[in-house]
Structure formats: C-alpha cells, structure tokens
Amino acid sequence: MPARKLQTAPNGRPRSDAGSLGRGLAIIESLMEAARPLSLHEISESVGLTDSTVHRILQTLHDANYVLKDPSGKRYFASAKAMSPLTMYHPLHILRRDAFEPLRTLRMRSELTSSLVVFVGLERLVVDISGAFGVLTPYYETCLRNPLHVAVSGKLLLLSRSADERRELLGDGPYEALTPSTITDPAALEEELSEAARRGYSTNLDENFNGFSAIGAPVTCGPGQTLGCVMLAGASKEFSGAAMAQWSRALQEQARLISFSQGARAAYAMWHQ
C-alpha cells in the first residue's frame, strides 16, 4: 500500500505548514506500511521530502525509539513501540481478549469471518478478526473507510446517532451507488435503519461489493450506549434467509456477552465519561 504523502504546494514541493510533527508521522506511516526496511532515499520519495530533512527527522525518531536501523545501518523500519503503542492492559486489549471466544464461536457456527468493530467518534476501528480457513475473508484496514450507508458497521454507527446527525453525515442524497444493490435514496435508508433497530441487527447484501455480504449486531453498554458491533462476512451465496435468521440470533447472543464484559465497559468509558 503506498504511503500517504504530505500535502504539496502548486510547485510540487511539500507545504511548509506541514510541520515537523506531520512530517514525522508521515515517515512513521511510510515505514509501517512497507514490507521491508527502507533506505533514506526510499523514505524521502514516499513522503515527498528531501533526504536531508528526512535524515534529521529519522534521527529524532530513532532517539525516541519509534524507528530502528537494520544491521547494515543504512535502512530503517518502524519499531515495536511505533507498531504497537498500547500496553497489554489497555482497555482495547482487554476488550480483544474478552471478545476472543465470542468471535471464535460465531466463526465456528457460521463458517464465515467474524469481526469486532468499535466506534471511535465517527471512525470504525477494527479490534479483532476471526477468519475461517478456505472461506472468502474480507481485508480490513485498521479503520474501515467504506461509506457509512453501504456497510453493516456504518449503518449501526448511523443508528447510534440522531436523525439530524445522520442527515449531516450523509448529506441530502442520492447517496453514492457502489453496486446496483446500494441504497441511494435517503427515505429508503431511513426505513432500512428503522427495520434494523426493530430487529436488532443490520445487513449489507451486495451493497458494497457484488458477491460479498455481511450481517452484524450492535455491542452496547446500556441504553443509548453503543460501543460498536460484531459482524459476520463472506460470499453472498451463503446468505440465505434461513442462514441469516440463525446467524442473527447468534450475533445478538455473542454481542450481549461482549457487551457485559469488563473490556467493553472499560473501552466505552475511554470516550464517554
């Protein structure tokens, strides 16, 4: 995956207002996305900065233990501190451990990929995935970037917001169509969300990609306290009516188990004091 370059001015040079912090973060991101240690010049090209500027920032990052050098001393890679900055006792790690068995249970019952997503403001953070061997498994970035109206996690995030907030997030419509099955009409989406609230789960049936579907249930820590959701995803051919009825019950059951866990309460408290 290519690194995200710094913003450039019309002459192609990096904007001076990016600042040292922005440059340092861009370098760390470039190293974290690389499949191998990178040379100074490779890093410079990936972030659009001069070799001298990158060398100076690398020295600071190295001194702070965010960047390390390979045995040759000529290539750099992200340190463990940069790749995994959370302690093992961080609420998200506790939540991951608490969700391990529910996710494994969902995967074994459905033979689909199960996952846990937490809502951090308007972002959807993937906390853990339990993939089924030999079955179509979705590729997730750390944060899900697909539009809210086409995703199970997005619909459940929208449900946790007021109608006015949903309109502000989505706009007036019609919404972007990614497939022929995408819901693009605002009234139709509101009807879909109302039905999801009534039945306790949401679906995405070929709405994001043709041939790929998902179903999910919210993880809540009390009335009006939505932490995120658990999901099952896989090939659309597996999503028959009978199967979805069975999976919806299993999802809600395991979502409740996660909801009452210590990790869920601790994670929710991080952003909702």
User: Which CATH number covers residue 180?
Assistant: 3.30.450.40
Least confident of 96-100, 139-143, 204-208, 268-272: 139-143
> Residue 13: its pLDDT value, please?
43
From 83, 113, 129, the end of a domain falls on 83
Domain for residue 96, yes or no?
Answer: yes
Asked whether residue 4 carries a pLDDT value surpassing 60, the answer given is: no
93: left (phi over 0), alpha (psi -120 to 50) or beta: alpha
Q: Is the pTM of this model over 0.75?
A: yes
Asked whether residue 107 carries a pLDDT value surpassing 60, the answer given is: yes
From the list 125, 129, 173, 128, the residue with the least C-alpha distance to 149 is: 173
Strand-strand pairing, 212-220 and 226-235: antiparallel
Asked whether residue 12 carries a pLDDT value surpassing 50, the answer given is: no
CATH number for the domain that contains residue 21: 1.10.10.10
> Residue 223: its pLDDT value, please?
87
| Residue 146 and residue 36 share a domain | no
Expressed as residue numbers, the domain containing 27 is 16-83
> Residue 20: its pLDDT value, please?
84
What mean pLDDT is reported for the chain?
90
The first and second tokens of residue 271, run together, are 């952003």
| Residue 153 and residue 30 share a domain | no
> Residue 16: its pLDDT value, please?
41
Indicate the number of domains in the chain: 2
